[in-house]
Each structure stands twice: as C-alpha cells, then as structure tokens.
Amino acid sequence: MPLEDLMWVEKYRPTSLAELVDQSTIKQRLEALIQKKQQLPHLLFAGPPGSGKTTTAMIVAMQILGDYWRDYTLSLNASDERGLEMVRDKIKTFARYSDRREGVPFRLIILDEADEMAPLAQPALRRIMEETAAYTRFILIANYSSGIIEAIQSRCAIFRFQRLDEASVTEHLKAIARKEKLKHVGDSVFAAIYEATQGDLRQAINLMQAASASGEMTTESVKTVTGATVKARVSDILSTAIGGDFDAARTKMIELTRVYGIPERDFLKFANEALGSLDVPDMAEAISILAEYDFRLVQGSQPELQLTAMLAQLSSLKRKGD
C-alpha cells in the first residue's frame, strides 16, 4: 500500500479549497486571488500546526499551475536546509529558468518554516524575491508571522490560519471514520480526541488512526495512545520544574508543544489547573509567575521562549526554598 493510503492524514488531505475544513475567510480571499492568477502576490501563511497551511499552499499551486504544478513548484524547508546559502542557491537555480508553458504564469517557491530563518539572513531572501519577481511567486509558511521581517511581510498578502474548532474537527473525523468503516465510535471519543489535540487536525487524524488500530475505539483507547492526557503531561512538566529540574522540564515542554502541537496558552491554562494539586514551596509566587507569562503570551511575545523562561523561574523557586 502506498504511504499516501497508509496514513489517513495523506489519504484525506484536501486537493481543493472547497474540501478544506474551516478557514472560510482564507478560502474566500484565495478564490478571488486565483481568479486573476497573473496578478497573484507573494503569500504568507501563518498559523498553528495542523491547520492546513502546507495543504493550502499545495492547492494554490495546483490551481495556478494546473497539471504541471509539480514541475513548476519548488518546496523548501527553511529550517532543515543547511543554511541560507543552500536555500539561496536552490532558489536561484530554480528561478533562473524563465521558460514559459501555456497557462503557467510563473514558478512557485513554497518556503516552509520561514520563521526559522535568522532575521539577519532574511534581507537576502527579500532581495531574491525582488530579483526574480518577474517569473516567480513565493508562498512563505510560518507558525508566527512575527518571525518574518517587516520588509518581507509588507511584500506579501498575509493569511492567518486559526486552530480548527471542535465542531469542524469532529465533523471531519466522523467523515473519515465512515469511509474507514470504523464501528460504534461514540461522541465521547471525538470529544477526547479534540481535548488531546486542541484544534490540530493532523494530530487529531493521526490519533484516531492510532487508536483505531487497537480495535474498539473508546475514550480509554484514545487516552492510551496519547500516553496520558495533555493535562497530565502539563502537570508532569510543572512538577518537574517545581522540583528544580529545569532542563528536563524544558525538554518535555518543547516536546508537548512542538510534537503534539499543544498551543502555548492552553499550556498555561492546564498549568494553572494543575498547580493546585502540586506541592509548591511558594504557591503565591508560583501563581504570579504563571499570570505574568500568560500576560506576555497575550502580548504576542515569542511563545516557546516565554514558556522556557517561565519554567526557569519556577525551577528557581525550589532553590530559594532550600
């Protein structure tokens, strides 16, 4: 069986805007842009994991470039290429071919994880975008638009993807469950999947597939697959930090937010809930630390950095208490 069929996230990856779940404003704006494809601006897709950014970029490529989209699209990952040099070389080589095919107005460069590029390296990217503007368009993808320098942002039409809401995720999961002929999946199972994945549709689909592999689908099988519920994980991270082991707490936090795609603000919400049942040297201080970082996240500071700083502060409570 080809990989695309083995993995439900691939098997059910939308190939048209109409199939995309949620993100209705984005769909409308893109439909309009695709009508006038000659005038397509550079695009910047920003938003949380598993919300459809890469999928949408592929759909735009298909819609604009037609059957030959793969030949005229270069997909790069800004974080796993060895440095900007490589990215630059690849883009330059690719962009140089200005050959025209009927109905193919330009080449597309999809640059994933663009916010992982060092700010100092980004002006060079901006120059490449300008130099090749006659025959290329860029789709930049990022978790946070704030990681992209202003000079690039202002040259792009920005699309902000949202975490998917529970109703949309549940509806999509139910459709997949029907096609995969899963039996007797109760509403509580979908609720458990959503609680564990918080609007990350990729993770929700993966979780349902993993849980279904063990036979009957129950909230228990969902929980077993996630190892523990997200809340339990957050509680564990907090008690690790409060126990004074900053490094371990940080590693677990990064795993939870990156691999499982838990949004940072939810991390704080669960952390607040968990605090009550933990043995904390200075509870008042711990709560005010949480509140401070909650505030910073709302202000839009770099979330991973903020959570790391928070864990550092929590782990220093122990040293003070000793």
Ligand X SMILES: Nc1ncnc2c1ncn2[C@@H]1O[C@H](COP(=O)(O)OP(=O)(O)OP(=O)(O)O)[C@@H](O)[C@H]1O
Smallest gap from Cβ 264 to Mg ion, in A, equals 18
Cβ closest to ligand X, residue 23 vs residue 315: 23
Q: Output the residue with the shortest Cβ distance to Mg ion.
A: 54
Q: 12-31 mask for ligand X (x: CB under 6 A)?
A: xxx-----xxxx--------
Nearest to 262 by CA among 213, 317, 322, 207: 207
Q: List, as own/partner pairs, every contact residues 265-268 make where C-beta atoms lie below 8 angstroms and the sequence separation is at least 24, other chains included.
A: 265/294, 265/297, 265/298, 266/198, 266/230, 267/234, 267/307, 268/293, 268/294, 268/297
Task: Tell me: does residue 44 bind ligand X (CB under 6 A).
Answer: no
Smallest gap from Cβ 196 to ligand X, in A, equals 15
Q: In what order do the strands lie in the sheet with 156-160?
A: 73-77, 107-112, 136-142, 42-46, 156-160
Cβ closest to ligand X, residue 160 vs residue 319: 160
**CA dist 24 → 18, 29, 64, 265 (Å):** 9, 9, 20, 24
Amino acid identity of residue 95, one-letter, is: A
What is d(CA 274, CA 287) in angstroms, rounded to the nearest whole number? 11
Interacting positions 102-121 with ligand X (CB under 6 A):
none
Please report, as ranges, the residues that interact with Mg ion according to CB under 5 A: 54
Alpha helices by DSSP H, listed for the chain, are 3-6, 8-11, 24-35, 53-65, 83-96, 122-131, 150-153, 166-179, 187-197, 201-213, 219-225, 230-242, 246-254, 264-275, 283-298, 303-321
240 binds, among ligand X, Mg ion, none (CB under 5 to 8 A by kind): none
21 binds, among Mg ion, ligand X, none (CB under 5 to 8 A by kind): ligand X
Cβ closest to ligand X, residue 19 vs residue 220: 19
Task: Tell me: does residue 52 bind ligand X (CB under 6 A).
Answer: yes
Smallest gap from Cβ 60 to Mg ion, in A, equals 13
Cβ closest to ligand X, residue 54 vs residue 257: 54
**Residue from 42, 53, 137, 252 in contact with ligand X (CB under 6 A):** 53
Cβ closest to ligand X, residue 114 vs residue 189: 114
14 binds, among Mg ion, ligand X, none (CB under 5 to 8 A by kind): ligand X
What is d(CA 174, CA 185) in angstroms, rounded to the nearest whole number? 9
What is d(CA 57, CA 139) in angstroms, rounded to the nearest whole number? 7
Task: Tell me: does residue 50 bind ligand X (CB under 6 A).
Answer: yes
Q: Which stretch binds ligand X (CB under 6 A): 7-15, 123-131, 183-191, 235-243?
A: 7-15
Which residues make up the interface to ligand X (CB under 6 A)? Answer: 9-10, 12-14, 20-23, 49-55, 143, 201-202, 205
